[in-house]
Amino acid sequence: MNPYLSRKYIIGGIFSLIILIYIIRLFFLQIVDQSYKLSASNNVLRYVTQYPSRGLIYDRNGKLMVYNEAAYDILVIPRQVEPFDTNQLAKLLDLTKEQIAQRLKAAKNYSYYKPSVFAKQISARNYAPLQEQLYNFKGFFVQTRTLRKYPEKIGAHVLGYIGEVDDELTKKDPYYNSGDYIGISGVEQSYEKVLRGKKGVEIFMVDVHNRIKGRFKEGKFDTIAIHGENVTLTIDATIQAYGEALMKNKRGSIVAIEPSTGEILTLVSSPGFDPDLLVGRNRTENYDKLKNDSLLPLFDRPLMARYPPGSTFKLVNALIGLQEEIIKPWTVFSCYGGYNIGNFHMGCHNHRSPLDLKHSIQHSCNAYYANVFRSILDAPKYGSVENAYGLWRNSVISFGFGQKLGIDLPHEVNGYIPTLSLYNRIHGNRLKSLNIVSLAIGQGELLMTPLQMANMTAIICNKGYYYVPHVIKSTSETYDTVQKPFLIRKYTNIDSVNFEPVIEGMFLGVNGDDGGTGRIARMPGIEICGKTGTAENPHGDDHSIFIAFAPKDNPKIAIAVYVENAGFGATWAAPIASLMIEKYINDSIARPALEKHILERNLIDAQP
């Protein structure tokens, strides 16, 4: 074969292959790979996000708790900026000349041709004078946003606040871009996807200098922003405000629940703060001040504080004793100034003796419950103290203790019910009932949150069951989906019949003719059932506790009150709970002297 002819075919094949490669590459770039097309589009189109207004938040009675107020972000395109009066702009934006220079430099470093945020969250009030002068500042323009406003200035921990997303979140969730806002805590966080709405976009054509030349395709591809859904909470704003007033200048919390539904009527954490502090341009500065405050106003006590339950826990031990047939309602024990065995002594206050079950609750007898608790753990039918403790612990856990209840708010903690393994480590696998008898009166290693104690109270007046406590009542559209988990009854290990004598004891504790530890909570016209508690505190004075429900028949409210470092439960927690019940049921207060006493007392400054 002619060598020249062979070379011709080889060269032709090489050129054909090169041409084929170019064709395939061009096909890929123009048809398959859209990145270059998008890059070209981005050079001639500007996508302006339309931010939706967040949904409004109402209380259970339709009272507005959170609404939106117009705010404005000032954006800048450095390429379009012309010489301007720096002093005038600094005055209008409440910035220094140095800050103006720094922000303009940062904008140029980001992009000379693309817009970036120059000043955030300018209020409508401050924007008005700026709007009149904006034409003097070429290259600066406005993007509308909204700020949350709180007409009642209450419920900061429940409502929560919003803040700017971080880089980590923008990588995880494509919905959010840098500069977007998201719910950080409270209802704003839990129901972010319900409240946030859906962003829209406007597309503009721009020239090589990024100047707008008109709408792309006459707005054919624009989308409108869809505002967030409105939310109705179970919170009663009137009772919430009243509870916050009663707890002013006191540390502690109030949790009130509607027993028949699990709906939370109030969640008071004190000291609290004005929710408006975490809105707007001063949010970061205000947050730092609140965070460093020694009174811990950001700490959500109803969900996060863990305390010993004190004598309120005697009710649980009574119920377990009845369920296991260790005691009967008529079982009596004597009290000789407390519980004494060998060298061990557990003190008790003066009261008549002996007592049966309901009167032991009325007078909160420590000796009675030391006997009940030890009788459970030492019962021969369980085979060992370890087996009996396991059964006892399982019954306690069935009340929702030692675990998160599942409230629809962030940051709930689980409390603590000591495990058998803990005691085996402490006592070397030789556990005796006397070693842990402090559990009989709600001391020792037990830890509960105020939310769990209010839920326990709801369980008692429901005679054995509860609904997961929650703050959502309804939304505009997604009610069924949101509400479904809160419509399921959860049962304890205790039969309903065993609650009757315990309820009677709580009634006598407030209304008994021969007195009771909770008698200060008594009021005409409302049959309040309650139990006092005093939780030992190794770091200072004991905590004052009171749980209650009312009315006795067909209860409408179950409540738990903790006042830190305030002494006996009857001193402060009981009258606060009683006033809250009266306000909720009667919508008025017939005991102005008691109310004035609570409102005016400063327990924080009184503490050493």
Same domain, 435 and 535: yes
Q: How far apart are CA 450 and CA 57, in angstroms?
A: 25
Q: In the structure encoding, which two tokens stand for residue 301, read together?
A: 């006590």
Residue 195 belongs to some domain of the structure? yes
Q: Which residues contact 50 (CB under 8 A, 6 or more apart)?
A: 199, 200, 201, 202, 223, 224, 225
Residue 7 placed within a domain: no
Sign of the dihedral through C-alpha 324, 328, 332, 335: positive
Q: Do 211 and 261 fall within a single domain?
A: no
Q: How far apart are CA 262 and CA 410, in angstroms?
A: 17
Residue 328 is predicted with a pLDDT of: 96
Q: Give the residue carrying structure tokens 């409390």.
A: 415
Query: Which has more confidence, 497 or 127?
Result: 497
Identify the weakest region by mean pLDDT among 28-32, 78-82, 189-193: 28-32
528 pLDDT higher than 60: yes
In-domain check, residue 93:
yes
Q: Assign residue 68 the CATH number of its domain.
A: 3.90.1310.10
Distance CA(120)–CA(73), nearest Å, equals 4
Q: Are residues 256 and 320 in the same domain?
A: yes
Residues 354 and 397 in one domain: yes
Q: Which of 193, 212, 233 is the last residue of a domain?
A: 233
As for how many domains the chain has, the answer is 2
Q: Which residue has the higher pLDDT, 71 or 475?
A: 71
- What's the pLDDT band for 562 if we cut at 50, 70, 90? very high
Residue 43 pLDDT grade (very low, low, confident, very high; cuts 50, 70, 90): low
* Inter-residue contact 405 to 453 (CB < 8 Å): no
Read off the pLDDT of each residue in 334-338 and give the average, rounded to a whole number. Answer: 90
Residues 6+ apart with CB under 8 A from 151: 64, 65, 67
Considering 201, 217, 233, which residue would you say is the last residue of a domain?
233
Query: What is the spatial distance between Cα 171 and Cα 257, in angstroms, rounded to a whole number?
Result: 39
pLDDT at 195 over 90: yes
Confidence bin at 538 (pLDDT 50/70/90)? low
Which tens digit of pLDDT belongs to each residue from 468-492? 999 999 876 655 556 678 889 999 9
Q: Of 119-123, 315-319, 389-393, 459-463, which range is least confident?
A: 119-123
Rounded distance between C-alpha atoms, residue 230 and residue 62, angstroms:
11
Give the model's pLDDT for residue 478. Answer: 57
Dist. CA 261–CA 533, nearest whole Å: 26
Which of 207-216, 387-396, 447-456 comes out lowest in average pLDDT?
207-216
pTM, two decimal places: 0.87
- CA atoms of 335 and 349, how far apart (whole Å): 9
Pair (227, 153) in one structural domain: yes
- The pLDDT score that the predictor gives to residue 27 is 61
Q: How confident is the model at residue 35 (pLDDT cuts 50, 70, 90)?
A: very low
| Distance between CA atoms of residues 266 and 403, nearest Å | 21
Query: Residue 41: inside a domain, yes or no?
Result: no
Q: Which of 299, 300, 317 is nearest to 446 (CA)?
A: 317
The whole domain housing 136 covers 46-233
Please, how many CA atoms are within 13 Å of residue 562, restricted to the half-sphere of its CB?
Answer: 35
**Average pLDDT value for the chain:** 88
Is 12 part of a structural domain of the chain?
no
pLDDT band of 211, cuts 50, 70, 90 = low
In a domain, 199, yes or no: yes
SS3 content of the chain, % helix, strand, coil (to 5): 45, 20, 35
DSSP string, 285-314: HHHHHHHH-TT-TTS-HHHH--B--GGGGH
**Per-residue model confidence (pLDDT) at position 558:** 98
- Collapsing DSSP states into helix, strand and coil, what is residue 506? helix
- Kindly report, residue by residue over 417-467, the tens digit of the pLDDT: 999 999 988 887 788 999 999 999 999 999 999 999 999 999 999 999 999
Identify whether residues 250 and 221 lie together within a single domain: no
Question: Domain check: are 228 and 245 in the same one?
Answer: no
Find tokens 């030349």 and name the residue.
213
Once rounded to an integer, what is the mean pLDDT over residues 264-274? 97
Burial of 83 (0-12, 13-18, 19+ CB in 10 A): exposed
Share of the chain above pLDDT 70, in %: 90
What local confidence, expressed as pLDDT, does residue 498 receive? 97
Which stretch of 47-51, 90-94, 154-158, 592-596 has the lowest confidence by average pLDDT? Answer: 47-51
Cross-strand bridge partners of residue 263: 258, 470
**494-532 b/e with 16+ CB inside 10 Å = b?**
beeebbebbbbbbbbbbbbeeebbbbbbbbeebebbbbb
For the stretch 397-408, pLDDT in tens is: 999 999 999 999
DSSP 403: S
Model confidence at 607, pLDDT cuts 50, 70, 90, reads: low
- pLDDT at position 210 is 56
Q: Are residues 110 and 221 in the same domain?
A: yes
Last-in-domain residue among 217, 233, 249: 233
User: Is the pLDDT assigned to residue 39 strictly greater than 50?
Assistant: no
Residue 523 DSSP code = B
User: What percent of the chain has a predicted confidence (pLDDT) above 90?
Assistant: 58
By residue count, the chain amounts to 608
Per-residue model confidence (pLDDT) at position 529: 97
| Cβ contact 295:251 at 8 Å | yes
pLDDT value at residue 163: 87
| Segment 178-181 long-range contacts (CB within 8 Å, at least 24 positions apart) | 179/73, 179/117, 181/145
Residue 257 burial class via C-beta count within 10 angstroms: exposed 0-12, middle 13-18, buried 19 and up: buried
Asked if pLDDT for residue 239 goes beyond 90, the answer is yes
How does residue 40 score in pLDDT terms, banded at 50, 70 and 90? very low
Question: Is the Cβ–Cβ distance between 359 and 513 less than 8 Å?
Answer: no
Q: Which residues contact 489 (CB under 8 A, 6 or more apart)?
A: 465, 466, 467
Instruction: Using pLDDT thresholds of 50, 70 and 90, give the confidence band for residue 208.
Output: low
Q: Is 442 left (phi over 0), alpha (psi -120 to 50) or beta?
A: left
pLDDT for residue 511: 95
User: Both 334 and 211 in a single domain?
Assistant: no
DSSP calls for 550-581: ESSSS--EEEEEEETT--STTTTHHHHHHHHH
Paired residues of 523 in beta bridges? 526
Asked whether residue 194 falls in the same domain as residue 272, the answer is no
For residues 191 and 269, membership in a common domain is answered with no
Look at residue 199 in the predicted model and tell me its pLDDT: 85
Label residue 393 by pLDDT band (50, 70, 90): very high
Residue 387, judged by CB atoms within 10 A of its CB (0-12, 13-18, 19+), counts as middle
Query: Has residue 16 been placed in a domain?
Result: no
- The answer to whether residues 281 and 319 belong to one domain is yes
- Alpha-carbon gap, residue 558 to 236, rounded angstroms: 14
The better pLDDT of the pair 2, 112 is held by: 112
CATH number, residue 435: 3.40.710.10
Decide if 378 is inside a domain: yes
**Angle, helix 314-323 to helix 499-511, in steps of 10 degrees:** 150
pLDDT score of 349: 86
